[in-house]
Amino acid sequence: MFLCLSFTINGPFLALFQEEVLKLKESEINMLFGVAGVPAAILCLVAGWLTDKLGGKKITAVSIVIHALSTLLWVYFGGNIIFLIVVFVQFFYVSYQTVIAKITTEENRARFAGLFGMISGLVASVGPYMGMYVKVEAGFAATFQLCLLFSILSSLLLTQVTALERRK
């Protein structure tokens, strides 16, 4: 998931798409990001409630795929602001903390969180290089298609974590 975020929210490709394909000026890009961020922040308040009701793993798995899918739809629908708002809604950030708490013991939680942070940081650092290569070779849409593929794989792996937890 952090690799997908390095393609989108934490990476340059949303802004590059707006500049290179949509031909927006820097001020217009900044305005769109600001406008999309406000309702996204408000909608993220729902994430805690949903995580309580449905569980962190379900919300994390669904939000990973929704993030990548809405990014791809944003590209195919010419930068539509509605899809950009959905891209900015990050239920993942709220729910994955719950997942970490559920799959670790209290004694190992800090160690696991540190290891998770290190691995996710290393993986995410590859994102801009990989994304730029795919963008140059196959275009913007392919970068976001790759993001969707990684998000689906992440959700499937998260399902395995759920299955392992049930065996305990």
- Domain CATH for 124: 1.20.1250.20
Question: What are the structure tokens assigned to 14, written together?
Answer: 């949303």
Specify the number of domains making up the chain.
1
Q: Are 101 and 55 in contact, with CB atoms under 8 Å apart? A: no
pTM above 0.95, yes or no: no
Give the residue numbers spanning the domain of 31: 2-167
What pLDDT score does 163 carry?
A: 47
Each of the 168 residues of the chain gets a pLDDT tens digit; together they read 778 888 888 788 888 999 999 999 999 999 988 888 888 888 878 887 888 888 888 888 888 888 889 989 999 998 888 888 888 877 777 777 777 777 777 788 788 878 877 887 888 888 888 889 999 999 989 999 998 998 899 888 877 775 445 444
